[in-house]
Structure formats: C-alpha cells, structure tokens
Structure 1
Amino acid sequence: MPASARNWILACLPAGVVALVISLVAWASSSPLKKTEPIPVLQNEDSLTRTIDQVDQFFTQEWQERELDPAAVADELTQMRRLSLALHGTIPSLEEIREFQAMSGDDRLERWTLKLLDDRRFADYFSERFTRAFVGVAQGQFIVFRRDRFKAWLSEQIQANTPYDELVRKLIAGEGLWTGDPETNFITAAVADGNLDRNKLTGSTVRAFLGQRIDCAQCHDHPFDHWKQTDFEGLTAFYGQVEVQVLGVRQNNKLKYEVEDRNTLETRTVAPQVPFLNECLPEEGTLRERLATWVTHPDNRRFERASANRIWGLLFGVPYIDPVDDLPAPTDLTQEAPDLLDILGQDFRENGYDIKRLIQIIVASKPFQRSSSTDMVDSEEIQRATRAWALFPLVRLRPEQIIGSMLQSSSLKTIDQNSNLFMRARRFFSEIDFVREYGDLGSDELNDFPGTIPQALLRMNGQFARDNGSASPFNSVGRITSLDISNDKRIETCFLVCLSRPPTAEELTHFLKQYESASNQEQREKVTEDLFWALYNSPEFSWNH
C-alpha cells in the first residue's frame, strides 16, 4: 500500500487505537492464509430446472411474438463480472478469475453462482440494498434509530437464508429496543422530531413489500388507481397501537388510531381494515402481527410479485416492471397465461421464499445470459429489444460498485472478509469518501441516472485514483510491472484485473507498441500506470458490460 494511503487510514483512526491496529495487522499478516473454499456442488433439483425452463419458454415466446432475434449468449467472463457486480458490488479479482478458469464442466457458472451466494460479501452487499428499500438512506434520529445495526441484522438474516416472508414479518411486527432488537429500526426509522409518523410506516410497508404506491391516498382518493383515502387510513390503523418508548418499540392496546376529518375538523377513530383479501387477515394476534401475516399471506400475489420484481431489478440494474414500487394490481392483469412475475413469484412461495434460490433461477435464465452487444443500428430497434430483455440492459455502475471495483483492481488477491485489517479499513473509508464525493443515488436506486462531469473527473483525477494508479510494490500496477512475464501477458493481466476480459487484438497491438518503446523498469511502470488510467476511465469500467 502506498505510504500516502497508509498514513491517510491511520489519520482516520482514533489515536488511542493506532497501536492496536498495527499489532492486529502484524498478526493478520503473519497468520497462515485461509484455505480456498471449495466450489459448491450443484444439487440435481428438478423443480429448479423446471422453473428456469418455464422462464426461458416465457421469453422465447415473447421474442417470437415480437419478431425479435435475441442477442448472443455473453461469454463466461462477462457473465462472471456481472454476477460479481450484482451480488458483491465489485468486479472479480484476478485470483477469482484464475480460480474460475481452472474449473471444468458446462455448469461452472451455476456452481460459481452458488459460491458467490455463500460468500459473506453477498449478505453484506444485499443487506445495504434492502436497507435502502426498507428504511432509506438517511441516518434519522440517532437516539432511537440505528441504521448500521439494522443493516448488520439484515446481513445476518440473509447469510442464514432466513425465508423472506419471515424476515418481513419481523420488520412489521418486531418489538424491543432498537439496539438489542435491530429489526425494530424499521419502525423507528419513521420517528421525526420525537413523533412516530404512522403514515410514513404505511407508505413504506406498501411500497417495499407490496410494490405499490398508496401515499397519495393519505390525503385524498387516488386519482388514477383503486386506492381510497379510507384504504390508507385503515392500513395505518394497524400501526395505531405501536409506540416508541425509552425501553423500545412496544404495543399499547389502549391506544386508538384517530384522525381529524378535513371537512368537519372533528376527530374520529379509525378501525383497522385491509383494502382487499380480507379473508387473509387473521383474527388473532396484535394489530401489527395481523398486518404482517396479511402482507405475506400466500394468497397475496402482490407480495410475491413485488419480491420477484425487486430481486430482478437488483440483478439487472433495472426491474422487470418499472418503477419497482408502482406495479399494476393483479386484478388489472388481463393476460390468461402467467407472466414472468407470476412464474418467479409462485416458485418463490412454493419453495419457502428462498432468496438465494430465486437468484439462482434468474441468473440461469436466458435474459441474464444475453450479451449487451448487438448488430442492430436503429436506436428504436435496440430499445425495443432491450425492453423485451432480448439484450442485457446497459446500466451505469452504482457509486459503491465503482469504488469497490477500483479498490479490487488495485489488488491481485481477492479483497473480502478474510483480507488483512488495513485493506478492509482502506475499503471502508475509501467507500465512504468516494460515495460522498461521487454522489449517492438515495433509496430510488433502481431508476436510471445520468453520469456527470464531476463524476468522470473524480475517476480521472481523484485522490484514490491517483494512489491506485501509481506503481507500488503493494498494488497491482507495481506487481504487474515487476512480473517476469511477456508484455503480451502483462497487457492481458491488466485487462483481466480492470475489465475482467482479455484485450482485443487491436488493443493488444496498440499497448504492445507502448511497452516496446520502454527501455527500463521506470518507463515500463509509466506505461502500466497509463494503461490502468485508460482502463479506469473507459466507459466499460463504469458500466455493467
């Protein structure tokens, strides 16, 4: 690691723990390397294969009806890169690429997917994506809200593969202190100025778990949808008996949910009621327990469809139906055959709301395997093919994916939970600073966003890019330069480290000329630095293809 980066990290740490950090790093550096985890073996599960085939048949029929020729299957390294970005928030390391290339068998991508899902980085990354959807990005009132505890709790649930419906019920009905029972932060996220905003809870619940927007009905009947103001009030009444006390989130059965009539200005009591599927609302339990059961009820198609649409969006960068929180009600669907969300949702429900299984199905399907490249020249045809998922959609990387990729490309080894303390600290502080400068996408992260000139300049000339791209015995630039390999292999290694692919013949020829003109080690370092800078700032580095 360059001295400037090392000193920067130490400066960020409290003075009293610097000595402890140094001793821990020394211990970690001297400890034997952890053995590589074995690649998981695929289980021969007919139901999984049947669902994948059903998804593929759905899209094959769609493409035929629309007279679309789907793009070719993307090469395995391209699929590997998009898997790593979607599941871990970073590009694969050179170490991982070599491990993947050493695998045999036609099913190695499927087995690699299982390996990524078993890795702790998956739980940590997806917990942040879910946290944004469930409680947003604001830190809220620190006294009663701990976003970091909520995210850590979600990570544990995902790592344990807790059924998604069970996880959601814990969020809606949880009780206790926000530090000791982190799931209650879903409730305390709605606290503002010391008051619990029950209307905000209702809106968050319906958007996050049912994929629909009911917020408009808070003040009046929805002008374009089925939602009525009485629907919103009836749902909010289920949160009417929850209160945030010194000892945590508690149920107070004595409370009644009251609203002020806008016409008469008189206060009236609202009874809890659901706007549809009343037969799915249990009679037993607290109000929030009853609501949680209704939201996740197997007969509530909105829940499984919204879940499938969100996971699809997290993997592709674009939801199947956009926006992710404004899906058509199942009663509005006119097709006779099940659509994609019905296919995925049914499998999700029938197999215990298994998030990892749902991901396996989606990434094994034909749309996820398509290339983003096409011979089409007409922009309207390209958009039509993209909308039909006959082309893999081009999406800009998220800020944490950009910094995660830049950091990973600075190391030939995988940066994960087993990396030494300094490397993990560097990633933690780098991500915070970079996202702050680059700009956060907020909780509305699945909508398209434009790139900006300041963002491009940050990748070109930011402090992290300068430190990363300067040759050092401890980073990729320095190590690749010093390797006793041919210049062809040196260029290929740079491309694999940064873009997860080998160079084209034209690219190889261009950069070979640069190396051939370098007569000593210092000049070779400069060529490698320039090559890394060019790769960092290529459009390919900051997009998902």
Structure 2
Amino acid sequence: MKRAIISITKWAWFGLLLLLAFGYMASGLSNGRTTESASSIRPKESELRSPDMSLEAAGNSKPIATESGDADSVDAVVDRIDQARRQAITAAGLRSAEMADWMTVCRRLSLALVGSGLSLEEIRALESLPVDQRERAHLDRLLGDVRFHDYWAERWTRFLVSDEGPFLVYRQRRFRHWLSETIAENRPYDQVVRDLITAEGLWTDRPQVNFLTVTFDSNDGSPDPVRLAARTCRAFLGLRIDCLQCHDDFLGNVSLGDEDALRGGSQTDFHQLAAFYSSAKTNGLQGVRTESVDYRFQYLDADEEVDVTADVPYRQDLLPEDGDPRERLARWVTAADHRQFARAAVHRFWTLMFGRAVTDAVDNLPLDESDDPVLVALIDDFQRHRDVHRTIRLIASTEAFRVDSVADFEITARHEVVHAAFPLTRLRAEQVAGSITQASKVKMIDRDSSLLVQLIRFGAINDFLKRYGDLGENEFSKDGITIPQRLMLLNGSMLHEAAKSEPILNTTGQIKSFAQDDPQAVEVAFLCLLNRYPTKEEQAYFAEKVGEADGRGNGLEDLFWMLANSTEFTWNH
C-alpha cells in the first residue's frame, strides 16, 4: 500500500511538471486577448503608420533615438542625416515611401544584429509596450544581447581575416570570442584596430594575434607583410590597392597622395606600407614580437631587390615620427583626423545593417570620390566618437532604415539609391538558417535555452550552410538565389525537421495543441515566420486550407513549409 501511494505521488508530480511545461510553452501563442477577433488583436493601422508621410512630415516619428539637446546628441545627428535624405529625394524628383510599421523595423533590426527574425516571445513582449517605445526597446535589448555580440563577431571575422588560416597557429574560435567581448564592452573602434595591428604574443593567450598568424602559411611561419598590407587597406581604410603589389596603376583605378594633389598609385606605395609589418617576427614560444623593419623587394623591371623604407601612401602628416613600426602604422590608420578610417567603418556598419553597400563595394571607397550625402553626418559623428553601438543606434533611427520597401507608386532602383525606399536584399545563408530555426521555436533561442535546443540549432545551421553554400567574404554579393539553393529550401532536411508537428519542441506542435481555432493558428504561424499579422484574406484562406488537411498538425506543417519558402521570408524588406 505504501509503495502504491509513493508511486501515485511521483506520477502526480510528474504530471504537474508536464502541465507546467506545456503551459510555459504555450504562453506566447496568445497576446492575452483570446476572445477578440484577429483584426482587433492586430495593432491599429493608425498606430503603425503616420497618416501623412510627405517629405516634410517623414521625420516626425523617431522611436529609437533618445538623446536630445546639444548639436552632438543622437537626435541632432539623426536630424541632419534625415535632412540630407529629404534633400536628395527632392533633388531626384522622387517621392518617399511611408515609414514602415514597428514590426517590420524590428525584424530588420533582428536580422542585422542577431541574424534571424523575431521570436513569438519577443513579439508578445514588445506588444505589451506602447507603440512608440517598441523599436527603441527592441534595439536596447539587442545591443546588450549575447546573440548580437557573437553574430557581429562572426561578421567582423569575415572581413578582418578572410582565410581559414594555418593549422595550430591560427585559432579562429578564440579570435571570434575576443571580438565578441570587445563588441559587448563597446570598446572604441580605434582601440580595437590598434590592438589588431600591434598585436604581440602567442595566438592562444592573445587572441588578437590571430589577425597576424592567419597569414603564416604564406611566409614561412611569420606574418606576411604583403597580405597584411592588403587586408589593412581593405578592412580599415576601404581601399583596394592589391593591384599595386605587382605594377603601378596604369588604368586610373587607384588614387593616392594628398587631397590637393591626388595621383595614381604605384608599387612603391604598396610595398612601403607592407614594410611596417616586416617588423612582426615569430620568436619561438614568445609568439609574435616587434623588431626592426627588414623589407626588401624587387620592383617590376628592376634588376635586383632593394631595401624598402616603411611609409604611408597619403596623409604623411598623420604618421608619428617616433615609436616602433607597427605602433606608428596603427596610430596613422586610426588618427583622429584620418577621415578615410571613419569612412570605411561607417560604410561597413551601414552595410551590415542594410545588407547592401551604398557603393559598388564596401571595401572600395576611393579617396577622390565623395560620400553619399546621407552618410556625411554619420561619418562626422563616428570620427568624433569611434562608438560602434552609438553608430548602430544612429543608423537604426534614420528614416533611411525605417522607410518602407513598398508604396502606392512604383519603386525603382533610383528610389533605393536616394533612400526613398528600403532596399530589398536576399538573406545570407546564415540568416536563412537562423530564421528557420528561430521560427521553429516559440521561445527565443539564446544561451539561456536548453542545451538540447542549442545543440539542435548549432547542428542544423552548420549542416545547412555546408549544403546551401556560404559567400564568405563576398557576402554582400547582389546575385540572386540559385536553383540548387531553392531546391535545398524546398527539399532540405532542416526545413523538414523545423516544420514537424512535435508537441514539445516545435512551433507547429505547440500551435496544434494550444491555438483555439484555425484562424488563430494561422495568425501565430505568420508571426513566427514572417513577423507580421496575416491580412484578413490570408487568414481566411489558410485557415480553410488547414481545416481541409488530414489533421491540423499536417495542415500546419504544410503552412510552415510554404511560408518558409516564400520570397517574403527569404528577403529583407
């Protein structure tokens, strides 16, 4: 009898815990107004859009920027950026699209900062706030989110060290972890760059040294000055001078020299810059150490090698006279008056936020070309502050980032050029994978998620990237999705597993168990995958299809699969 009572008690506790677990998983399905119709649950159109979004009125709503007062405040800088945008649109004789609704803007923020769309849990939390606070609250949370630190560390790694690197002496994981910590701390960007250029020590205990050791395989176990010079120009200065390794610039592709005396680039320009890195030597168990410059090169048409003196190709006035070679180079690159450094950083961050560069290439910003007027105030601000989080906040607050991608008139490429409409960009491979895995869970997937969920996400994304393909350093290519990639989405195991109607882990299983009716089931599916409410027509149509399916679970699996394969899901808009 005693054993029976104990057994019943255990099963009772188990049942209670199971009910609590199901209740917790289902808590995000409803926003607390389950008796209301879908149209009443959805925020009113007047709350999402300003009724008059002419060029004069387009800047009235700024829910992200918070500072005000002096001319250096976030609000003041955003006003200057928005004013430049309006002037460009007027000069082009175009109209601007209206501002996008808050959920669209928040999806853009999530895709840019953490590489996936919003979770249902995040949407419900934001809906509990006043409409004019939602974008700012979402951005504030994302900037402090470990997912943002890790994701941007991965993105930075792509342009800082584009190669896999040699075995043992290059530790990419440690390098990414160090970058993640610097982004979390919001260390000034110029300090981060100086740390990379001047790094010393072992690649295991000084992660920034991996910026140098990634080039060991091409220089007999020491940092390669040529590759480092090319990477420094591309990553930190937005200049492509790689062609100068072998010959002078005969085609007019590279302009160097002083602002009032620009000239074509030469081999000398490149190799004098590379000479700074010849001071980085490998010293056994001490790792990388700085010694004297020791660089020799045989120029084109020359008979023999000559000693090359370390020098910079322009703004020699910013190069310190004293100090060790790499320290001098680092000070020149990050000098307060070195506008090209600020240009390169702002263009890079803008591109990470929009998924598309303002120019043809994010790492090709010639000295003799003027900046997009919308970026001028942003570059000025970054030159003063060197603050990555502040720059993200500024970009997210601009009309250019918050404008809609559709309008009641035809949107052309000219509208996107002058920022009259948000540019349509297809998601990168890791964003597609991240969005699918996040959509398959009602709760936000982060480091606080269960180990099982994190392992499933890690394995699914890695397998997807191998099969789908990753553009790597060319991640901002404007090429469309390929047929094999489309087939991968249609028939791949990742989407099949994500869409399964499993009652405990997957979104479809939880919707099946807890949605009150098919219309609410469709609504939640749209929120999870497309981060928007369905229109009345969409809701009615798909609710009918779910009802006609052989069981609600199968109908929801089909709906999940269809939405994940839609153009709307796989593009940023």
Do they fold alike, i.e. is TM over 0.5?
A: yes
Deviation at 1:228, TM superposition (A): 1.6
Q: Look up the equivalent residue of 2:274 and give its one-letter code.
A: T
The counterpart of 1:493, out of the listed 518, 524, 548, is: 524
1:421 aligns with 2:451: yes
Residues 100-499 of structure 1 mapped to structure 2, 5 A cutoff: 100-104=126-130, 106-136=132-162, 138-193=163-218, 194-195=220-221, 196-222=223-249, 223-224=251-252, 225-226=254-255, 227-247=265-285, 249-329=287-367, 331-333=368-370, 339-351=373-385, 353-377=386-410, 382-473=412-503, 474-499=505-530
Task: Compute the displacement of 1:43 (Å).
Answer: 5.1
**Cα distance change of structure 1 residues 484 and 230 upon mapping to structure 2, 3 Å threshold:** closer
1:237/1:132 CA distance change after superposition, 3 Å: same
> Hey, what's the Cα distance between the residues in 1 that align with 2:369 and 2:432?
39
1:70 aligns with 2:96: yes
Q: State how far apart, in whole Å, the 1-side matches of 2:472 and 2:369 are.
A: 30
Give the drift of 1:311.
0.4
Shift in alpha-carbon separation, 1:301–1:42, aligned structure 2, 3 A = closer
Partner of 2:110: 84
> 1 CA distance for matches of 2:205 and 2:454?
26
**Alpha-carbon distance, 1:450 to partner:** 1.9
Distance in 1, matches of 2:552 and 2:134, equals 36
TM-fit CA distance, 1:41: 10
- For the pair 1:51 / 2:77, whether they are aligned, the reply is yes
Amino acid at match of 1:190: T
**Separation in 1 of the partners of 2:240 and 2:478?**
19
Q: Deviations over 1:199-244 (max 9, x none)?
A: 1100000000000101111111123122221111111111111123
Q: Unaligned stretches of 5+ in structure 2?
A: 1-20, 26-62, 256-264
Partner amino acid for 2:191? Answer: E
Amino acid at match of 1:459: L
| Matched residue SS, 2:282 | strand
Deviations 1:92-114 (A, max 9, x none): 10000000111125233123211
1:297 counterpart SS class: coil
Where 1:443 maps in the other structure, the secondary structure is: helix
Distance 1:232-1:249 versus aligned 2 partners, 3 A rule: farther
Gaps of 5+ in 1: 1-28, 34-39
Give per-residue Cα distances to partners, 1:390-438, cap 9 Å, x unaligned: 1111111011111111101111000011111111111112111110100
What is the rounded CA distance, in whole Å, between the counterparts of 1:409 and 1:43 in structure 2? 31
Paired letter, 1:256 = D
Question: How big is the shift at 1:512?
Answer: 2.1
Distance 1:365 1:41 in 2: 9
Is 1:508 aligned with 2:539? yes
> How far has the Cα of 1:148 moved from its partner?
1.2
Q: C-alpha distance in 2, partners of 1:530/1:253?
A: 64
Mapped partners of 1:58, 1:515: distance in 2: 49
Secondary structure of the residue aligned to 1:106 is helix
Aligned length: 498
Moved more, 366-375 or 100-109: 100-109
CA deviation after TM superposition for structure 1 residue 386, in Å:
1.2
How far is the alpha carbon of 1:265 from its aligned partner?
A: 2.9
Question: What does residue 554 of structure 2 align with?
Answer: 526
Tell me if structure 1 keeps the 8 A contact 2:545–2:555: yes
Relative to 1, partners in 2 of residues 1:172 and 1:388: Cα closer, same or farther, differing over 3 Å?
same
Q: TM-score, normalized by length of structure 2?
A: 0.84
Q: 1:332 to 1:495 in 2, by over 3 A?
A: closer
Query: Is this contact kept in 2: 1:188–1:244, CA < 8 A?
Result: no
C-alpha separation between the residues in 2 aligned to 1:74 and 1:408?
Answer: 23
Structure 2: how far apart are the matches of 1:236 and 1:66?
43
CA contact 1:178–1:248 (8 Å) conserved in 2: no
Query: In structure 2, what residue type is equivalent to 1:200?
Result: R
Structure 2 CA distance, aligned partners of 1:361 and 1:252? 38
Q: Distance in 2 between matches of 1:64 and 1:43?
A: 28
- d(CA) in 2 for partners of 1:448 and 1:101? 34
| Aligned CA distance change for structure 1 residues 515 and 43 (closer, same or farther; 3 Å) | closer
Q: Counterpart of 1:411 in structure 2: which amino acid?
A: K
CA distance in 1: counterparts of 2:309 and 2:192, whole angstroms: 26
Q: Give the C-alpha shift of residue 143 in structure 1.
A: 2.1
CA offset digits 1:59-96 (Å, max 9, x no partner): 00000111110111111111111110000001110000
Look up the match of 1:25.
Answer: none
Which structure's CA Rg is the greater one?
2
Q: Deviations over 1:349-400 (max 9, x none)?
A: 222x1101001001110011111113344xxx61111111111111110111
Give the residue type in structure 2 aligned to 1:83: L
Distance in 1 between residues matched to 2:543 and 2:290, nearest whole Å: 73
Which 4+ stretches in 1 moved above 6 angstroms? none
Given residue 445 of structure 2, which amino acid in structure 1 is its aligned partner? I
CA distance in 1, matches of 2:92, 2:548: 53
